[in-house]
């Protein structure tokens, strides 16, 4: 279980997250919703450790050191080396996270996401939607127990949304893990355990 207790975060005078408490259970998918600027991305970034909370505690399975079990995937397609190929990019990020993969394992994951044909392409030649799929793949290569997805459906067509939703449903069914995602998209084709609406 991932337990967030009395999380507070403010930027200058602006108190974005105030006393947020929630228990996230394993094998569940949670949706964060709420208007722009309400703190959805900040909350996800705090869970990953990209941002540090002003106060409060976060524990995963009763441990405070859990961040290497978290993957954060967002819709920022600039977070790759555009002049390198997809495979070269992934190899670098695999090394950055001290992981090891055989070529066949990478291909197998790409096959599941139906992007095997993109591996040898230059990243700069991909469409926004394809970049988003590669971004998710990079996150999955980190072997996460907690998968955080920030607005990843925004650049995707219906076909790719369906592929991702099926992939995420399979992931949750097979692994002892949880997914928290933020999105403005409605009627996504997978089972959401709970929707958490952030309010002022």
Partner 1 sequence: MFFIAQIKKDFLWDFSYKISFFGQFFGIILTVFTFFFISRTFEDSASTFLQEYGNNYFLFAIVGISLADLITLSLRSATKSIREAQAFGYIDSLINSRINPAYLVLCSMLYPCIIGIIKIFLYFLTANLFYEFQLSAFNSLIVIILSAFTLFSFLGLGFIAASFVLYFKQGDPINFLISLVASALSGVLFPVSVLPEYLRNISELIPLTYGLDMIRKVVIYNSFENIDLQDLIFMGVFSLIFLIGGILIINKTIYAIKLKGISGSY
Which positions lie near partner 1, rule CB under 8 A? 11, 42, 45, 48-52, 54, 67-68, 72, 76, 78-84, 88, 91-98
Angstrom distance (rounded) from CA 27 to CA 175: 7
Task: Report in angstroms how near the CB of residue 28 gets to partner 1 at its nearest.
Answer: 24
Question: Minimum Å distance from CB 118 to partner 1?
Answer: 18
Give the nearest distance from C-beta 96 to partner 1 in angstroms: 4
Nearest CB to partner 1, comparing residues 51 and 165: 51
Closest separation in Å from C-beta 4 to partner 1: 17
Measured from the CB atom, the residue of 30 and 123 that comes closer to partner 1 is 123
H or E segment and range at residue 159: helix 158-174
Give the 3-state secondary structure of residue 148.
Answer: strand
Cα distances (angstroms) measured from residue 54 to each of 4, 17, 47, 111 = 13, 10, 13, 41
Nearer to partner 1, 3 or 50 (CB): 50
Nearer to partner 1, 16 or 172 (CB): 16
Shortest CA distance to 5 belongs to which of 44, 39, 53, 38? Answer: 53
């Amino acid at each position: 279980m991932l337990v967030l207790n009395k999380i507070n975060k403010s930027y200058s005078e602006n108190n974005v997250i105030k006393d947020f408490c929630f228990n996230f259970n394993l094998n569940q998918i949670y949706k964060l919703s709420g208007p722009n600027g309400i703190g959805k991305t900040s909350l996800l970034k705090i869970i990953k450790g990209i941002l540090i909370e002003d106060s409060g505690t976060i524990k995963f399975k009763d441990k405070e050191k859990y961040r290497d079990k978290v993957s954060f995937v967002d819709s920022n397609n600039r977070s790759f080396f555009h002049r390198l190929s997809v495979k070269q990019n992934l190899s670098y990020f695999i090394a950055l996270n001290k992981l090891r993969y055989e070529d066949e394992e990478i291909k197998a994951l790409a096959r599941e996401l139906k992007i095997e044909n993109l591996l040898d392409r230059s990243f700069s030649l991909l469409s926004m939607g394809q970049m988003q799929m590669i971004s998710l793949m990079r996150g999955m290569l980190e072997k996460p127990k907690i998968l955080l997805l920030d607005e990843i459906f925004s650049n995707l067509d219906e076909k790719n949304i369906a592929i991702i939703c099926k992939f995420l449903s399979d992931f949750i069914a097979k692994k002892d893990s949880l997914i928290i995602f933020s999105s403005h998209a409605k009627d996504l084709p997978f089972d959401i355990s709970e929707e958490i609406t952030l309010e002022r």
